[in-house]
Amino acid sequence: MVNAIYGKKIGSTQVFSDSGAAIYVTAIEAGPCTVVQVKDTATDGYNALKVGLGNVKNKHINKPLKGIFVKNNLEAKKYLKEIRVDGGASEYKPGDIIDVQIFNVGDKVKITGISRGRGFAGVIKRHNFHRGPMTHGSHSIRKTGSVGMCATPSKIHKGKKMPGRMGGRQVTVPYTEIIDIIAEQNLILVKGSVPGAKGNLVCLKKA
Amino acid sequence: MNVLEKVENKYIKTDIPDFKAGDKVKVNIKIREENKERIQTFEGIVIKIQGTGINKTFTVRKISFSVGVERTFLVNSPMIASITKLNTGIVRRSRLYYLRKKIGKKSKVEFEK
């Protein structure tokens, strides 16, 4: 069975549970994903489905990519992603649809996405360091501070927390509960936050 | 209407009376104790209405045994059984924080007859 789906982050809001608790949720427009290619152990060495998501005009994709869609009489898709399946990939054929029905309310999912890029960030934002004094002639308000010792060992230890590029990398939120599914709009409401900005491509996988 | 509003609409109540700051309201709150559920009422002057949509809240102030008590409720919370408007207040502000400093007769709001 397919246990994952790709979708777009819509934004976050708040809903109420039956017991009256207000729950912070993020809405994800998941699928419908169209199966573009079926991969199996015989031909590719592993079982997977190549799925397409989001419509795009034909003129915006290049010829090699267009060939994949033309071969199976499919509309051009914006994103092409793979979903691994443990056997059973042969149940599917190109043109099949994977939608939110694969999940139920209350299921736990892993959500993977690319986090927002923060650029070159200092240690306070990047590693939650404390700042120095703001007054009394202090020049070390947001500085890194000491990074090591003197002549012994006369080097900086590997993995020392320093300023650098922050965000813009793959982040997975484990074990998130599905609060609600609105099938007619392909929406999944998951508890808590989801990496990335609105419109970000995310993967939901059964945990 | 954007997608998020459609999500919220499912949880937004439509049977809430139209009230504003200065009005006297009665709020019936569901209280759950183990498996039993009962209704508790909180009656007082609305001193603030804040937010929109699903996040809309209102604050009710009353004087209980000469101590001022304020409670803030989410309008759309399922724990609120009903809201009844009792009187329409005559006030010039949307936030009646000045009531907190008043005592005696001045701490009251004049109602429409």
**B101 close contact with A: CB closer than 8 A:** no
DSSP 8-state symbol, B75: T
CB contact under 8 A, B78 and A14: no
Residue of A nearest to B5 (CA): A13
Domain boundaries, chain A: 4-118+169-206, 119-167
Distance from CA of A6 to the nearest CA of B (A): 18
CB contact under 8 A, A20 and B78: yes
User: Which of chain B's residues have a Cβ under 8 Å away from the Cβ of A22?
Assistant: 74, 77
**B79 close contact with A: CB closer than 8 A:** yes
User: Which of chain A's residues have a Cβ under 8 Å away from the Cβ of B6?
Assistant: 182, 185
Instruction: List the beta bridge partners of residue B33.
Output: B36
CB contact under 8 A, A16 and B7: no
d(CA B88, CA B85) in angstroms, rounded, equals: 8
CB contact under 8 A, B77 and A22: yes
Q: Which of A111, A202, A187, A19 shows the shortest CA–CA distance to B10?
A: A187
CB contact under 8 A, B54 and A14: yes
Q: Beta-carbon neighbour count of residue A150 at 10 Å?
A: 6
Mean pLDDT of A70-77: 83
By three-state DSSP, how is residue A110 classified?
Answer: strand
Residue of B nearest to A18 (CA): B78
Of the two residues B71 and A57, the one the predictor is more confident about is B71
Q: What is the pLDDT of residue B33?
A: 86
Q: What is the pLDDT of residue A88?
A: 64
A54 confidence band (pLDDT: 50, 70, 90): confident
Query: Percent of chain A at pLDDT above 70?
Result: 99
CB contact under 8 A, B7 and A182: yes
User: Which of chain B's residues have a Cβ under 8 Å away from the Cβ of A27?
Assistant: 3-4, 7
The CATH number corresponding to A4-118+169-206 among 3.40.50.720, 3.30.470.10, 2.40.30.10, 3.30.2000.10 equals 2.40.30.10
Q: What is the pLDDT of residue B4?
A: 83
Tell the burial category of A183 from Cβ atoms under 10 Å away from its Cβ (0-12, 13-18, 19+): exposed
Tens-digit pLDDT profile for residues A132-156: 999 999 999 999 989 999 998 999 9
Residue among B7, B11, B32 whose CB faces A187 most closely: B7
Contact (CB, 8 A) for B78 and B35: no
pLDDT, averaged across chain A: 88
**pTM listed for this prediction:** 0.81
Residue among A13, A19, A20 whose CB faces B4 most closely: A13
Q: Is the pLDDT of residue B105 over 90?
A: no
CB contact under 8 A, A185 and B32: no
* Alpha helices (H) along A60-205: 63-71, 123-127
Phi then psi for residue A101, to 5 deg, are: -60, -15
Of the two residues A43 and B69, the one the predictor is more confident about is B69
Q: Is the pLDDT of residue A21 over 80?
A: yes
Tens-digit pLDDT profile for residues B6-49: 888 888 888 888 899 999 999 999 998 888 999 999 999 999 99
Contact (CB, 8 A) for B75 and B54: no
B104 confidence band (pLDDT: 50, 70, 90): confident
A206 confidence band (pLDDT: 50, 70, 90): confident
Contact (CB, 8 A) for A173 and A193: yes
A89 confidence band (pLDDT: 50, 70, 90): low
Q: Is the pLDDT of residue A46 over 90?
A: no
CB contact under 8 A, B4 and A10: yes
Contact (CB, 8 A) for B76 and B13: yes
A20 confidence band (pLDDT: 50, 70, 90): confident
Q: Is the pLDDT of residue A62 over 80?
A: yes
Residue of A nearest to B10 (CA): A15
Residue of B nearest to A11 (CA): B4
- Residues 6 or more apart from B70 whose CB is under 8 A from it? B47, B59, B60, B61
Q: Is the pLDDT of residue B1 over 70?
A: no
Q: What is the pLDDT of residue A66?
A: 85
